Amino acid sequence: MGINIKGEIERVNGNELSYSEFAKRYMDKNYPVLVTGLMDLLHWRACSDWVTPLGQPNFHFFSSHFGVSEVQVADCDTREFTDQKREEMSVSDFIEHCLRVEGSAVQCNNENHTSNDHSVPYLKDWHFVKEYPEYAAYITPMFFCDDWLNLYLDNFRMHIDSDTCQQNEEICSSDYRFVYMGVKESWTPLHADAFRSYSWSSNVCGKKRWLFLDPSQCHLVFDRLGCLSFAK
């Protein structure tokens, strides 16, 4: 028995959807949904700063404003255990890598051949909101404001020494608000989100294809040892 492809994810206009309707039709049933009309230039700074007038990623803006940040970058061509191989680099180095890959792809297309000179990079799990809290890249839509996990983590403090409570020893815990960036052909292996929690994602620039697995078919993607298949 193979995996059954069931069709498309429902698309709705967020400006015509109430919170109670959203909760009843999708959240309570744990149904995926594509909500449109929630990102605008007035309230989503990311839509203007991160995108060029031609609709391309504004790499220069990222390099000049956030270039020194250290981020995790996956090599989409290399497997490491159950995930892709990752390395830490600055945002500026990641941008340079992306530009090299895109330049190589254009050259290969013009010459009608393929090349493996440059691996496909994918910046993942960048704690952008935590690192730049004053930037305000977006406004959380009302459907997703009831964010218990991040509300808890924003107010939780961990002590370097559990026997003391000195203010200068307190550090903030992590959060689950990420920025992802990738070039064409970047991808993430089959996975489940952190703590099997609800999550939402917005696409600021470019296109991204999502494949969702129905819960009734989850048993089909584990091997004999109970490990999740490494699948694209």
Residue at 97 is within a domain = yes
Task: Enumerate residue ranges in the chain where pLDDT < 50.
Answer: 106-109, 113-115, 159-160, 166-171
In angstroms, the Cα distances linking 111 to 102, 108, 114 are: 14, 5, 9
Q: In 3D, which of 155, 198, 149 has the Cα closest to residue 176?
A: 149
Residue at 158 is within a domain = yes
Helix (H, G, I), strand (E, B) or coil at 46: helix
In angstroms, the Cα distances linking 9 to 107, 142, 211 are: 36, 21, 9
CATH number reported for the structural domain that contains residue 92 in this entry: 2.60.120
CA torsion, points 189, 185, 78, 50, in degrees to nearest 10?
-90
- Bridge-based pairing state of the strands 121-126 and 70-80: antiparallel
Residue at 20 is within a domain = yes
Residue at 226 is within a domain = no
Residue at 191 is within a domain = yes
- Structurally, how many domains does the chain consist of? 1
Strand locations in 113-208 (E)? 121-126, 157-159, 170-172, 179-182
Q: Which two tokens stand for residue 66?
A: 């956030």
- Bridge-based pairing state of the strands 11-13 and 34-36: parallel
Q: DSSP letter for 184, please.
A: T
pLDDT of residue 170: 47
Residue at 157 is within a domain = yes
Reported pTM: 0.85
Residue at 56 is within a domain = yes
pLDDT of residue 8: 86
pLDDT of residue 106: 46
- Please write the tens of the pLDDT for every residue from 128-158: 999 999 999 999 999 999 888 888 888 876 5
pLDDT of residue 1: 52
Residue at 174 is within a domain = yes
Domain span at residue 32 reads: 11-221
- Please write the tens of the pLDDT for every residue from 147-187: 888 888 888 765 445 555 544 444 456 789 999 999 999 99
pLDDT of residue 142: 95
